[in-house]
């Protein structure tokens, strides 16, 4: 293989080569990102705890459950602890365009039920003691520069204070989760702070619970608990649906539609487009070099060698594109992960994703190179030399 000629052919047309490499790089980057999203979703589902069940309204996740359900469910055998989760939906006063989740929870049962969360700064006991306290993820704290002891103003959208002022939460502790099941960009506060405000007229909004988390005792049959809880409220006032944490996450994701299939379709379309772009480049290269190919054959290069020259050029362009795409992807991984942490805590480029990106580039390079390569191999030296004059 005349490697120098191969390289010179690539750099001899800098604009065309750069555009092709750039197109492949963008495609590989996109495919890697899309695959990382799909993998992230899968990782989030896989990381779900087996000993946690979630109870929501059978009608919709957006319909609250009565507060009274907690006490009734506590009587079901096998349930070790119950924790309320109520979506707050507020906006940080200093960054109203930004988004992060806030939930009202029961401090006593929350942290013991999520052993993957570790307090890294401050004190969880302080959180339990102070009604207006909150616990925040370390990525959220880093994003806004929050420190322990700082007061964070959040204006409500569902729950609004009657005095027109924002809610104020004091950061009592900062946590770090080691599992994608819990992200590091959420603010947790005491549900009772919200409940008391609503009951005492300090705030307006629905008084209920979005989801109950049930922590089961070791050895408990989750199906039996699910059936018992669902049966308990079969006749209302609100029918419930009890699911495993993995199933709950799956349903939550599916509210966006069939995300993995959608992403795969987008990825497929990107690949299709890029394949034709590379094929077009290689066909042009093959046509332009008809005379050169004829000369090479006259000099004694075999049909196979001249054909492989174009296949190798296609592979080189796509390989460079893959390297650039993966390189950009690795650089963008951390900012992407931070940006998507609140709804996709499992996002990240694993080895499989990077290999997929590289394999796709090699595949496109190979297939796009075969057509002009075959033409080059079949061309006779006489025909090639005659074609140009």
Partner 1 sequence: MAEAIQLRSVTKAYQRAGESLRVLDELDLTMAGGTFYALMGPSGSGKTTLLNLVGGLDHADSGAVLVGDVDLTRLDGGELAAWRAGNVGFVFQGFNLLPVLTARENVELPLQLTPLSRRQRRAQAERALQLVGLGDRMDHKPRELSGGQEQRVAIARAIATDPQVILADEPTGDLDRTTADAVLQLLQRLNRELGKTILMVTHDPQAAGYADKIIHLDKGKLGRIETNPGRG
Judged by beta carbon, residue 218 or residue 389, the one nearer partner 1 is 389
Tell me which of 19, 67, 224, 388 binds partner 1, using CB under 8 A: 388
What is the phi/psi pair of residue 180, to 5°? -65, -5
Residue span binding partner 1 (CB under 8 A) among the ranges 16-24, 319-327, 335-343, 380-388? 380-388
Cα 296 to Cα 299: distance, rounded to the nearest angstrom: 5
- Does residue 284 interact with partner 1 by CB under 8 A? no
Nearest to residue 181, comparing CAs of 244, 229, 131, 226?
A: 244
> How far out from the chain centre does Cα 220 lie?
32
How would you classify the pairing of strands 186-190 and 101-105? parallel
Judged by beta carbon, residue 101 or residue 295, the one nearer partner 1 is 295
For the chain, the distance separating the N- and C-terminal CA atoms, rounded to the nearest angstrom, is 27
285 to 324, contacts with partner 1 by CB under 8 A? 291-292, 294-303
Residue span binding partner 1 (CB under 8 A) among the ranges 2-10, 170-178, 203-211, 333-341? 2-10
- Does residue 20 interact with partner 1 by CB under 8 A? no
CB 315: neighbour CB atoms within 10 A? 21
Cα 318 to Cα 312: distance, rounded to the nearest angstrom: 10
Judged by beta carbon, residue 223 or residue 382, the one nearer partner 1 is 382
- Please report how close the Cβ of residue 281 comes to partner 1 at its closest, in angstroms: 16
For residues 136 and 183, the answer to whether their CB atoms sit within 8 Å is: no
> Strand ranges (DSSP E) for the chain?
52-57, 79-87, 91-92, 101-105, 117-122, 133-137, 151-155, 160-161, 167-177, 186-190, 203-204, 211-216, 240-244
Query: Which residue has 């996709």 as its token pair?
Result: 344
- Does residue 387 interact with partner 1 by CB under 8 A? no
Judged by beta carbon, residue 50 or residue 382, the one nearer partner 1 is 382
Nearest to residue 160, comparing CAs of 82, 90, 262?
A: 90
- Please report how close the Cβ of residue 13 comes to partner 1 at its closest, in angstroms: 9
- Please report how close the Cβ of residue 382 comes to partner 1 at its closest, in angstroms: 5
- Does residue 374 interact with partner 1 by CB under 8 A? no
Instruction: Please count the residues of this chain forming the interface with partner 1, following the rule CB under 8 A.
Output: 24
Judged by beta carbon, residue 91 or residue 297, the one nearer partner 1 is 297
- Does residue 4 interact with partner 1 by CB under 8 A? yes
- Does residue 351 interact with partner 1 by CB under 8 A? no
The binding site for partner 1 (CB under 8 A) comprises 2, 4-5, 8-9, 12, 291-292, 294-303, 380-382, 385, 388-389
């Amino acid at each position: 293989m005349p490697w120098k000629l191969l390289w010179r052919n690539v750099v001899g047309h800098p604009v065309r080569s750069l555009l092709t490499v750039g197109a492949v790089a963008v495609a590989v980057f996109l495919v890697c990102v899309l695959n990382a999203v799909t993998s992230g979703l899968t990782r989030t589902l896989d990381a779900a705890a087996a000993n946690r069940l979630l109870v929501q309204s059978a009608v919709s996740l957006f319909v609250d459950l009565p507060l009274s359900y907690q006490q009734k469910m506590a009587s079901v055998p096998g349930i070790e602890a119950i924790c309320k989760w109520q979506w707050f939906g507020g906006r940080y006063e200093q960054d109203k365009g930004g988004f992060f989740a806030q939930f009202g929870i029961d401090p006593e049962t929350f942290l013991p039920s999520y052993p993957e969360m570790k307090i890294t700064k401050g004190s969880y006991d302080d959180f339990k003691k102070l009604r207006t306290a909150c616990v925040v993820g370390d990525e959220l704290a880093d994003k806004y520069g929050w420190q322990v002891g700082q007061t964070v103003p959040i204006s409500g959208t569902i729950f609004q204070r009657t005095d027109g002022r924002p809610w104020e939460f004091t950061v009592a502790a900062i946590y770090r989760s080691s599992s994608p099941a819990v992200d590091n960009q959420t603010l947790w506060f005491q549900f009772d702070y919200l409940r008391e405000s609503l009951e005492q007229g300090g705030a307006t909004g629905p008084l209920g619970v979005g989801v109950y988390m049930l922590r089961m005792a070791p050895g408990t049959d989750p199906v039996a608990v699910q059936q018992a809880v669902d049966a308990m409220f079969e006749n209302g006032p609100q029918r419930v649906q009890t699911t495993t944490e993995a199933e709950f996450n799956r349903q939550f994701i599916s509210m966006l539609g069939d995300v993995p299939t959608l992403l795969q379709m987008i990825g497929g379309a990107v690949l299709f487009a890029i394949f034709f772009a590379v094929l077009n480049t290689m066909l042009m290269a093959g046509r332009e070099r008809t005379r050169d190919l004829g000369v090479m054959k006259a000099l004694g290069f075999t049909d196979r060698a001249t054909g492989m020259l174009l296949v190798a050029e296609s592979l080189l362009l796509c390989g460079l594109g893959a390297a650039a795409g993966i390189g950009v992807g690795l650089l963008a991984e951390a900012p992407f992960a931070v940006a998507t942490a609140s709804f996709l805590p499992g996002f990240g480029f694993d080895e499989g994703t990077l290999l997929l990106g590289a394999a796709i580039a090699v595949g496109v390079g190979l297939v796009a190179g075969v057509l002009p390569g075959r033409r080059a191999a079949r061309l006779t030296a006489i025909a090639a030399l005659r074609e140009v004059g």
